Structure 1
Amino acid sequence: MSFLSRIMVVKSKAHFSAGGNRAPGAFEGTRKKKQSQTKSRLVIMMSAFVMAYGVIGGRLVQFGVTSPEEVSSIPPADRLMASRPDILDRNGEVLATDVRTVSLYAEPHKIVDVDEAVELLNSVLPDLDVKGTYKKLSSKSHFQWLRRQLTPKQQNQILALGIPGIGFRPEKRRFYPGGPTASHIIGHVNIDNRGIAGMEKYIDGQGLADLAAVGMTSNAPLEPVRLSIDLRVQNILREELVAAKDRYHALAAGGVVLNIHTGEVLAMASIPDYDPNNPVQALEKDNMNRMSAGTFEMGSTFKTFTTAMALDSGKVKLSDSFDARNSITIGGFTIHDFHAKHRILSVPEIFIYSSNVGTARMADLVGIEAHKHFLTRMGLLSRMQTELPEVATPTQPKVWKKINSITISFGHGVSTTPLQTAVAAAALMNGGKLIPPTFLPRTEEQADQVAEQVVKPSTVEDMKTLFRMNVTNGSGKSAEVPGFVVGGKTGTAEKVVNGRYSSDQRFNAFLSAFPIDKPEYIVLVVVDNPQPEKPGMGATAGSNAAPTVGKVISRTAALLGVKPKFGPDGNALLMSY
């Protein structure tokens, strides 16, 4: 064996000798070490995943429980979307409801090109305030309203412009299907859908506004609010008032239909009025609610209450008479009759002929304090209590003297609202009970709980007789409606101009009840400063307010459930031809 061969053999043995000396556990230790390292890596990776998803989950929970950030003056979205209840008439007809809309806003810090944004918006909204919008978009604020309550078409057009930093926020808009038909009763809301007039304001005053202020309202539909108004009667009343204003060239006209047993207002209108869908019209002076928010000297309709006072006092009977031959001079003033008879008049004649002198003598007989107390008891001298917020306070002399009592007896010297005049008249027709008026449904049983007896039943019977006589034989003839037995009293009051009574400016009224044999309803119509319908015709209440009442009754009586009566016995006559 060569030297090299021996060396190779020795090295080979040495190699195998070294490998063969390793313990079997050496390989096992290496394997365990590698497994431990693998487990460590897995734990680290799992921990990292858990921490990452934990952070994400925590942020989601935080976003879920944190209230939305309020910027500028804009309240949270759910508060904007708060519902208002529908308003219905007594028969379920919708008078007011909510409709969905959107409003346009901007986030100025996201606007890229202010000039371009303003120009694009102006192309869709031609009436946009360009300078004001530019100022808003150039500000450093994070929120600015640009236009409230857009139409769907406007929203789609603005969306198509693709302006960065421009967005829409859902809102609700109040919609009044009848327009101006019952505007002074329903009222209207502001841009934030909050009631600011009429029954809309009343509804907010019952707690809706407080709930909205603290964000406790929801988008869920609310229980509708039903009113006492009959939309059919309301529409007829308004139509006749509009026609009367035009026919008699008057400044204004107003009217009310009242249930005398419940105090429910079935219809009330004041012309000119406004469209609550465009509430800015309500700010115009001529569009005020004259029936409850205006006070007027009611003229000779007040003789109704003077006569009732005299009869109720027991000092005067229907069979009594008073001297009306001459005028009355007192305190430098002369009281005279418009159509003087210059003779002694009975109580019915004083009422029918509307004698100022005869009425003044009855008031003088009763006395000043008793006169003031009676009108106060009838609710004519204090602010009327009802749901409608727009109610004026009557005016009266600070100190009642004899001259005041005499002029007030025929409707001068005290100003009150037409609505409470109708309410007081109802007490003279329903058995003597003064019932506060309401614009909400009320039963007779509920009315009795709030009623106050103010006159004797015998006084009521006498006043019904006088009302009917004034239509059949007096100044109210033009209010007669065949079959419906109308009664009432005219009133033509001179208006005060520059501190003095004007002989050529009038405030006319006709106060009526029907059917007078068994009264159910009061109908009052007022006409402010009417002119003769045609040259040569008169302009007193008997020629304008009274016929308007007749037209209202003829069109509404059947709707109100009043059956006509014909013939001496009151039975309807059926005739065939």
Structure 2
Amino acid sequence: MIRTPLRPLARILAARDKGENPDTIERENIRRRHEAMRDKTRARAEGRLLVLGAFFLLAFGVVGGRMGALALSEAREPVASAPGARIAAQRADIVDRHGRILATNFETHSLYAQPPLMVDPVAAADGLVAVFPDLDRDRLIKDFTGKRKFLWIKKRISPEQKQAVHDIGDPGLLFGPREMRLYPNGQLAAHILGGASFGKEGVSSAEVIGVAGVEKRFDGYLRDPANGAKPLQLSLDLTVQTAVERVLFGGMKIMNAKGASAVLMNVHTGEVVAAASLPSFDPNDRPNPPTSGFDPSDSPLFNRYVQGVYELGSVYKIFTAAQAIDLGLVNSDTVIDTAGPMKVGGFRIGEFRNKNYGKLSVADVIVKSSNRGTGRLALHIGAQRQQEFLGALGLFEPTPFEIVEAAGGHPLKPKNWGELSTVTISYGHGLSTSPMHLAASYAAIANGGYYVSPTVLKKSGAQYGPRVMSANAAGQARDMLRKVVTSGTASFGEVPGYEVGGKTGTADKPRPRGGYYEDKVIATFASVFPSSDPQFVLVVALDEPSIVAYGEKRRTAGWTAVPVAAELIGRVAPLLGLRPKLAAGEKAGITLTSN
């Protein structure tokens, strides 16, 4: 900036020539300079005030706009989540093998209150208690008249309940949309489906998450928005599942059992077509987990076919016979001396009711269910080879069945596997497994010697795993199982037209603190059908059954589990597409006549 001099020489000289006072020129220039500086400073201050005023105007505008938006919006309960996180309420359906709905979503509403908006809190509390008798009137009044700005009343309500609350007419009672999980078949397949609950929640939506069963195991898939139109398809058959649960429930009641379980599995694909555990529950209203102080199996949440790990008794004898045949040690006609006494490790090995069968073929050892005969076969096999065989059948690890509870079904085996364990395990004592383990093991016998993993997902074609026994050994084992039904301990298991083969097992139930009950057993029947060309394996287990037949109390599987299994096979075999084989010459009551 060029500044004007206060005493310009030209003007000073001219003023002196004219006789004027040069100081006047200096004072005038000083005045003009001060006025220019003042005008500049004022302009700068006015500019700053203008900017500051604009800033405050904008700030107050934003605050006012936000306050207006909050005043017009619904109240929202604070949730612990990342800033800006969106609640994902969408969840894919679950269907059976034929596409029928097992689990789906249902639109309903939640009910919440904003006490500051209430007109008559006491009347509102009275009205809510009339609609929802489980609410505490005094607690509601305390919350409505206190300092709370928001509170949940019900996380989900029916359309009828919504209308009833709406009729109360208090503006402080508000509704929010809610998507909940619906199981239209009630208790059907409850232990497989498991159930769902709410995760993150707001007044306008809620996150649905799986808490058990396939709902939890496949939670990521079901919650993925990309799978909203792709339901999770299970191997279950809704019709067969219904029949299995109804027959099993009736059998449990007739046999006075504490609980029951059943597994129906395709021996070639490993697909579990039906699985039931009783007592059961409704996943639409899933009960709370049991508290301490009693047996977990007393809870309806307990899944008996994967979590119920027990010694299953003589159903294991067929594994010993099959392995001995596979190793070339015997065949089904080889004679075994089952006569007593027999002692192993200082312990006496006896027979049921102290019977003495004498010399029996290997097939008759299975038909008669001889402990000593099976034990002597096991001693020929040896502990090491026995462990390898049973391990190959998957009996030492939890089953890979795709529900979260299956991972908790750890088999129990002895720490020191000596001669005594080799003998007792050969007839099902000393090794504890679940009915699902047993079904997978019997499937290997039924399909010609291949292990198949049990699965809850629909498969296409055979899913054979590694070979665990030769086709010859598996074939001879199937023939023995058939003889058990036609002339052995499972005679009540015969179903006309379906050639059932199977093996019974009755094991004393262990006490929680060691030892065994004298009058409580786990009765099991493991079966394959049709025996000539097996397609399915069925395992039925009853917990503490007891009936009176021919004037005597019966607990063994032949009297309890076998009749229930036979009824099941008779019901479900036609539903599975299996046509009965009728003996040649039967005319089904048709009489030929002439005109």
Q: TM-score, normalised by structure 1?
A: 0.82
The answer to whether the 8 A contact 1:476-1:489 is kept is: yes
Pick aligned residue for 1:550 from 566, 590, 593: 566
Aligned residue number for residue 196 of structure 2: 189
Aligned residue number for residue 420 of structure 1: 437
Structure 1 residues 77 and 251, CA gap change in structure 2 (3 angstroms): farther
State the one-letter code of the partner of 1:396: K
Q: How does 1:243-322 map to 2 (within 5 A)?
A: 243-280=250-287, 283=290, 285-287=298-300, 288-322=302-336
Q: 1:79: Cα distance to partner?
A: 5.6
Pick aligned residue for 1:102 from 109, 127, 144: 109
Pick aligned residue for 1:377 from 383, 389, 392: 392
Q: Distance in 2 between matches of 1:440 and 1:572?
A: 40
User: What do residues 220-275 of structure 1 show as CA deviations (whole Å, max 9, x unaligned)?
Assistant: 95322221101111111111111111111111111111000100000000111111
Q: Distance in 2 between matches of 1:327 and 1:279?
A: 54
Structure 2, unaligned stretches of length 5 or more?
1-56, 200-207, 291-295
Aligned residue number for residue 156 of structure 1: 163
Q: How does 1:529-544 map to 2 (within 5 A)?
A: 529-534=544-549, 535-536=551-552, 538-544=554-560
Report which stretch shifted further, 287-296 or 156-165. 156-165
Aligned residue number for residue 121 of structure 1: 128
Aligned residue number for residue 177 of structure 2: 170
The answer to whether the 8 A contact 1:513-1:519 is kept is: yes
The answer to whether the 8 A contact 1:84-1:222 is kept is: no
Aligned residue number for residue 351 of structure 1: 366
Q: Distance in 1 between matches of 2:470 and 2:586?
A: 33
Pick aligned residue for 2:427 from 387, 410, 413: 410
Q: How does 1:194-209 map to 2 (within 5 A)?
A: 194-206=209-221, 208=223
Q: 1:140: Cα distance to partner?
A: 4.1
The answer to whether the 8 A contact 1:564-1:572 is kept is: no
Q: 1:524: Cα distance to partner?
A: 0.9
Q: 1:63: Cα distance to partner?
A: 7.3
How big is the alpha-carbon RMSD for the aligned residues of Structure 1 and Structure 2? 2.9
The answer to whether the 8 A contact 1:83-1:222 is kept is: no
State the one-letter code of the partner of 2:313: G
Q: Distance in 2 between matches of 1:485 and 1:478?
A: 13
1:433 aligns with 2:440: no
Q: Distance in 1 between matches of 2:84 and 2:104?
A: 20
The answer to whether the 8 A contact 1:275-1:281 is kept is: no
Q: 1:313: Cα distance to partner?
A: 1.9
Q: Distance in 1 between matches of 2:90 and 2:306?
A: 29
1:495 aligns with 2:502: no
Q: 1:328: Cα distance to partner?
A: 2.0
Percent identical = 35
The answer to whether the 8 A contact 1:77-1:169 is kept is: no
The answer to whether the 8 A contact 1:96-1:176 is kept is: yes
The answer to whether the 8 A contact 1:322-1:344 is kept is: yes
Q: Distance in 2 between matches of 1:300 and 1:117?
A: 65
Q: Distance in 1 between matches of 2:230 and 2:566?
A: 38
The answer to whether the 8 A contact 2:335-2:360 is kept is: yes
Q: 1:207: Cα distance to partner?
A: 6.6
The answer to whether the 8 A contact 1:394-1:416 is kept is: yes
The answer to whether the 8 A contact 1:250-1:528 is kept is: yes
State the one-letter code of the partner of 2:155: R
The answer to whether the 8 A contact 2:340-2:356 is kept is: no
Structure 1 residues 398 and 69, CA gap change in structure 2 (3 angstroms): farther
User: What do residues 423-447 of structure 1 show as CA deviations (whole Å, max 9, x unaligned)?
Assistant: 11101110211111111100125x1
State the one-letter code of the partner of 1:251: K
User: What do residues 473-510 of structure 1 show as CA deviations (whole Å, max 9, x unaligned)?
Assistant: 10111110111111010111111234222332111011
1:480 aligns with 2:494: yes
Report which stretch shifted further, 397-406 or 251-260. 397-406
The answer to whether the 8 A contact 1:327-1:357 is kept is: no
Q: What secondary structure sits across from 1:428 in the alignment?
A: helix
Pick aligned residue for 1:334 from 348, 356, 361: 348
The answer to whether the 8 A contact 2:317-2:366 is kept is: yes
Aligned residue number for residue 29 of structure 1: none
Q: Distance in 2 between matches of 1:68 and 1:128?
A: 24
Pick aligned residue for 2:402 from 364, 374, 387: 387
Structure 1, unaligned stretches of length 5 or more?
1-50, 212-216
Q: Distance in 1 between matches of 2:106 and 2:487?
A: 54
Q: Distance in 2 between matches of 1:327 and 1:185?
A: 47
The answer to whether the 8 A contact 1:469-1:487 is kept is: yes
State the one-letter code of the partner of 2:527: S
Aligned residue number for residue 238 of structure 2: 231
User: What do residues 179-215 of structure 1 show as CA deviations (whole Å, max 9, x unaligned)?
Assistant: 112111111112453210111112214472xx6xxxx
Q: Distance in 2 between matches of 1:380 and 1:406?
A: 17
State the one-letter code of the partner of 1:250: A
Structure 1 residues 99 and 363, CA gap change in structure 2 (3 angstroms): same
Structure 1 residues 574 and 159, CA gap change in structure 2 (3 angstroms): closer
Q: 1:282: Cα distance to partner?
A: 6.4
Q: Distance in 2 between matches of 1:243 and 1:481?
A: 18
Pick aligned residue for 1:518 from 533, 536, 548: 533
Aligned residue number for residue 78 of structure 2: 72
Aligned residue number for residue 400 of structure 1: 417
The answer to whether the 8 A contact 1:260-1:427 is kept is: yes
Structure 1 residues 274 and 79, CA gap change in structure 2 (3 angstroms): farther
Pick aligned residue for 2:468 from 454, 461, 477: 454
The answer to whether the 8 A contact 1:100-1:170 is kept is: yes
State the one-letter code of the partner of 1:73: V
Q: What secondary structure sits across from 2:432 in the alignment?
A: coil
Q: Distance in 2 between matches of 1:133 and 1:101?
A: 23
Q: Distance in 1 between matches of 2:222 and 2:469?
A: 38
Q: Distance in 1 between matches of 2:74 and 2:178?
A: 17
Q: 1:345: Cα distance to partner?
A: 1.6
State the one-letter code of the partner of 1:502: Y
Q: Distance in 1 between matches of 2:404 and 2:318?
A: 28
State the one-letter code of the partner of 1:416: T
Aligned length: 509
Q: 1:542: Cα distance to partner?
A: 0.7
State the one-letter code of the partner of 1:546: V
